[in-house]
Amino acid sequence: MAELRLTDPLKNVLGAPTAKALADGLSLHTIEDLLRHYPRRYAERGQLTDLRSLEIDEHVTVMAQVLKTDVKSYRDRRTGRNADRLEVVVTDGTGRLTLTFFKQKWRQRDLYEGRIGLFSGKVGVFRNQRQLTHPDYVLLPDSAELPDAAPAEGAEDTVLRFAGQLIPVYPATAAMPSWKIASAVGIVLDQLPEDLDDPLPLITRAAHGLPDLRGALLAVHRPESHDDIAAARDRLRWDEAFVLQTVLAQRRLAASALPAVPRVPAAGGLLEAFEARLPFELTGGQVEVGTTISDDLARTHPMHRLLQGEVGSGKTLVALRAMLAVVDAGGQAALLAPTEVLAQQHHRSITAMLGPLAERGMLGGSDTGTRVALLTGSVTGARRKQEMLDIATGEAGIVVGTHALLQHKVSFFDLGLVVVDEQHRFGVEQRAALAAKSRDDARPHVLVMTATPIPRTVAMTVFGDLEVSTLTELPKGRSPITTHVVPSAEKPQFLERAWTRIREEVGAGRQAYVVFPRIGGDKDTDEDVDVAEDSEQERRAPLAVLEWADRLVDGQLAGLRVAVLHGRMASDEKDDVMRRFAAGPSSPDGVDVLLATTVIEVGVDVPNATVMVVMDADRFGVSQLHQLRGRIGRGAHASLCLLVTEMPPGTPARERLDAVAATSDGFELSRFDLESRREGDVLGSSQAGRRSSLRMLAVLRDEDVIVAAREEATALVTADPDLASVPALGRAVERLLDEDRADYLEKS
């Protein structure tokens, strides 16, 4: 027989029906696909599965023992006749599960009391009992001496007889129960060539004491001990991390090979004038990252950098300094924001920070100044024409906008730097669309900013094609924020106290936010609440700002100047409300209390606001709450954040809120947040390919592996960009890229 290769189609070895079932149900097409379909867990002979852990609707394979059987009669609705139903109760010693077979009472012959087997099916519920209907099963031979047991018929039983103490349980489908997969894997393993090409370089394996690929695959599918499994899993995690980091290192290398115009600011320009005007000192981190960025900008290859950091750490300022440097070097900088509100806010704050420097051409403006253009969907008519013209002529050195900037019609005079704010809402493709607007012979430099802090390994995986800079330090003079959970169901008086606190703060000249998870009114849509609904069903609708506004204005907040802000308002209305809130209490049309939805989540910067009350706080995610809370504590006065919830203590929802109240460290919260999510959600939707290719690797847990793999993969790619020295790695990279492409095609 010809030697088996990992790239061979499964039907060559398994026969068409099995190959088709594996392809249809599990998308496994090649030998490698099947070998990389790792067991989810291992059933241990003599140890039954904990039946309490089964989740409704999940496809499960359990090892359990038959407790009793019972034949019941029921009326078949179709035929109108009586029929019989076999109910088999199986147990793990404590919990129970019912197996139901309609019109198959002959199965009693095999399924007698005391019999142990693997049962596989989808968990359903009938009369409050969890059950499997018509499960597939294989029964363990009766005798305890397994290897000597009477030979049974069929591949399934062969697998059970040969499997050691640990029986692999695979992610399975109805057509392909776990043991059929095991049997297919067994056939492939028996033909595996001795010298299997290994994508992990020998030197890496040696340095980290990792088994070779063949050994790892044998051990993960046919382990003899828990140590076998652990060693195999370690090695396979390395595979995933290394291949992924190789792809990312190649992307970084390719990107850095593109041409870019070096942007070195002329002395005595805007940047210097701006710095002279700054009312505060830069933080150590801002200085350091600023130097890194100006070094990047001075290169003849484009910068691709991620700037992430604690909420309120002053990322915008770092970005603005980079933009000014580019303007001083004769180029233009674009700032791309995910929402209209945020674009307006950036435009407003950048214009304010620049002062006369942003008023070139206007009376009183500075000679060295520039113009800050704003281009969003709602900038229309003559105003839009003017902005487009200023962008095209280079009159506007800085351009702030939303997706509208990506349109074909928008052309830049000389786009040198693209800053993407709050990257998690932008896709890679959009970044690319903007990058394409630079001069034909060069690419712009790119700086990406995230809204919330993210753990280092997540940054290395999700944004792995970018270099990462992090701001951890907050500017001096920030006042601390105290956060409390307000249990409004148990302690309604606490909520009353919250309104009193708002009145007190406004009385002292401060301002307040009240945040709601829903807009309300006609359309009953939630606004951007990113937390999954908890499992309790039939929860009441989240509190809505429009439904509460009147009540508060006439009641608890009577006499204060209150305004409403939400995503369905027209953008000039939004802009007006934000302007009045930012103008503060001393302004004749100022606003004291802003009742808002999550439109204020990111970017909004009003240092005089010192209280935030978040209604139905349990409806928000941890990172979202941290980001919201970052809207206060921006000035010299102590701030207070109140998380109002009806969730009882001890529930997961309450625990999340307690976590937010307990720390103001965004990195810690981000970890906490991500740990409670599934891996795919950690990586985000734009990373679908990476999701499916990460089977063993967990981005948060396997920090060591990811960091080490990144270093070694980068070194390898630098020395050997085409991976000529490790052909199997080259193929693995291709596989990953194909997966990525397939996902991309599916999406588009």
Residues that bind ligand ADP (CB under 6 A): 280-283, 286, 309, 311-317, 475, 605, 630, 634
Minimum CB distance to ligand ADP, residue 451 (Å)? 8
Nearer to ligand ADP (CB atom), residue 342 or residue 644: 342
Residue whose C-alpha is closest to residue 143's, from 126, 159, 160: 160
Minimum CB distance to ligand ADP, residue 39 (Å)? 44
Token pair in block for residue 550: 């009147």
Of ligand ADP, Mg ion, none, which one does residue 317 interact with (CB within 5 to 8 Å by kind)? ligand ADP
Nearer to ligand ADP (CB atom), residue 335 or residue 709: 335
Of ligand ADP, Mg ion, none, which one does residue 313 interact with (CB within 5 to 8 Å by kind)? ligand ADP
> Is the Cα torsion angle 93, 99, 103, 107 positive or negative in sign?
negative
Binders of Mg ion in range 316-375 (CB under 5 A): 316
Minimum CB distance to ligand ADP, residue 2 (Å)? 60
Token pair in block for residue 742: 């397939």
As a dihedral over the C-alpha atoms of residue 407, residue 409, residue 410, residue 414, rounded to 10 degrees, the angle is 120
Of ligand ADP, Mg ion, none, which one does residue 621 interact with (CB within 5 to 8 Å by kind)? none
Residue 120 near residue 61, CB atoms below 8 Å:
yes
**CB-side exposure of 210: number of CA atoms within 13 Å?**
26
Minimum CB distance to Mg ion, residue 286 (Å)? 13
Distances in whole angstroms, Cα of residue 173 to Cα of each of 58, 98, 136, 156: 10, 20, 10, 15
Rounded distance between C-alpha atoms, residue 637 and residue 160, angstroms: 69
Residue whose C-alpha is closest to residue 5's, from 193, 157, 147: 193
Nearer to ligand ADP (CB atom), residue 471 or residue 647: 471
Report the length, in residues, of the chain.
748
Nearer to ligand ADP (CB atom), residue 235 or residue 321: 321
Question: Which element (helix H / strand E) includes 319?
Answer: helix 315-328
Token pair in block for residue 443: 């690419």
Minimum CB distance to ligand ADP, residue 282 (Å)? 5
Of Mg ion, ligand ADP, none, which one does residue 309 interact with (CB within 5 to 8 Å by kind)? ligand ADP
CA 473 to chain centroid, in Å, comes to: 24
Question: Which element (helix H / strand E) includes 352?
Answer: helix 340-354
Rounded distance between C-alpha atoms, residue 168 and residue 163, angstroms: 8
Nearer to ligand ADP (CB atom), residue 309 or residue 444: 309
Binders of Mg ion in range 178-237 (CB under 5 A): none
**CB-side exposure of 272: number of CA atoms within 13 Å?**
9
Sequential DSSP letters for 221-258: HS-SSHHHHHHHHHHHHHHHHHHHHHHHHHHHHHHHHS
Nearer to ligand ADP (CB atom), residue 246 or residue 313: 313
Beta strands in 673-738 (DSSP E): none
Nearer to ligand ADP (CB atom), residue 207 or residue 287: 287
How many chain residues are in contact with Mg ion, going by CB under 5 A?
A: 2
Of Mg ion, ligand ADP, none, which one does residue 76 interact with (CB within 5 to 8 Å by kind)? none
Question: Which element (helix H / strand E) includes 462?
Answer: helix 456-462
Minimum CB distance to ligand ADP, residue 13 (Å)? 56
Residue 448 near residue 431, CB atoms below 8 Å:
yes
Minimum CB distance to ligand ADP, residue 710 (Å)? 25
Q: What angle do CA 218, 221, 222 make, to 5 degrees?
A: 70
Rounded distance between C-alpha atoms, residue 741 and residue 495, angstroms: 52
Q: What angle do CA 631, 633, 636 make, to 5 degrees?
A: 135
Nearer to ligand ADP (CB atom), residue 311 or residue 696: 311
Of Mg ion, ligand ADP, none, which one does residue 475 interact with (CB within 5 to 8 Å by kind)? ligand ADP
Minimum CB distance to ligand ADP, residue 582 (Å)? 11
Nearer to Mg ion (CB atom), residue 487 or residue 603: 603
Nearer to ligand ADP (CB atom), residue 64 or residue 357: 357
Binders of Mg ion in range 595-614 (CB under 5 A): 603
* Part in contact with Mg ion (CB under 5 A); list of ranges 147-155, 177-185, 308-316, 440-448: 308-316
Minimum CB distance to Mg ion, residue 323 (Å)? 14
Of ligand ADP, Mg ion, none, which one does residue 444 interact with (CB within 5 to 8 Å by kind)? none
Rounded distance between C-alpha atoms, residue 283 and residue 261, angstroms: 29
Minimum CB distance to Mg ion, residue 333 (Å)? 16
Minimum CB distance to ligand ADP, residue 395 (Å)? 26
Minimum CB distance to ligand ADP, residue 310 (Å)? 7
Of ligand ADP, Mg ion, none, which one does residue 698 interact with (CB within 5 to 8 Å by kind)? none
**597-632 as b/e: b if 16+ CB within 10 A:** bbbbbbbbbbbbbbbbbbbbbbbbbbbbbbbbbbbb
β-strand 82-91 against 96-102: which pairing, if any? Answer: antiparallel
Minimum CB distance to Mg ion, residue 316 (Å)? 5
Residue whose C-alpha is closest to residue 488's, from 645, 612, 617: 645
- The Cα diameter of the chain in Å comes to 99
Nearer to ligand ADP (CB atom), residue 342 or residue 708: 342
Minimum CB distance to Mg ion, residue 317 (Å)? 9
Of ligand ADP, Mg ion, none, which one does residue 162 interact with (CB within 5 to 8 Å by kind)? none
Nearer to ligand ADP (CB atom), residue 201 or residue 630: 630
What lies within 8 Å, CB to CB, of 202 at 6+ separation is none
139: left (phi over 0), alpha (psi -120 to 50) or beta: beta
Minimum CB distance to Mg ion, residue 608 (Å)? 18
Residue whose C-alpha is closest to residue 34's, from 237, 189, 162: 189
Nearer to ligand ADP (CB atom), residue 74 or residue 280: 280
Token pair in block for residue 214: 């063949």
Token pair in block for residue 519: 């807009």
By three-state DSSP, how is residue 565 classified? strand
Of Mg ion, ligand ADP, none, which one does residue 286 interact with (CB within 5 to 8 Å by kind)? ligand ADP
Of Mg ion, ligand ADP, none, which one does residue 605 interact with (CB within 5 to 8 Å by kind)? ligand ADP
Rounded distance between C-alpha atoms, residue 645 and residue 526, angstroms: 17
Of ligand ADP, Mg ion, none, which one does residue 542 interact with (CB within 5 to 8 Å by kind)? none
Q: Hey, what amino acid is at 87?
A: E
167 strand-pairing partners? 43
Nearer to ligand ADP (CB atom), residue 130 or residue 348: 348
Of Mg ion, ligand ADP, none, which one does residue 126 interact with (CB within 5 to 8 Å by kind)? none
Minimum CB distance to Mg ion, residue 630 (Å)? 8
* Part in contact with Mg ion (CB under 5 A); list of ranges 313-321, 334-342, 723-731, 735-743: 313-321
**323-353 as b/e: b if 16+ CB within 10 A:** bbbbbbbbbbbbbbbbbbbbbbbbbbbbbeb
Rounded distance between C-alpha atoms, residue 37 and residue 186, angstroms: 13
Write down the residue that tokens 């009693």 correspond to: 108
Beta strands in 165-212 (DSSP E): 166-169
Nearer to ligand ADP (CB atom), residue 437 or residue 634: 634
Of Mg ion, ligand ADP, none, which one does residue 265 interact with (CB within 5 to 8 Å by kind)? none
**DSSP label of 405:** G
Nearer to Mg ion (CB atom), residue 157 or residue 310: 310
| Site of interaction with Mg ion (CB under 5 A) | 316, 603
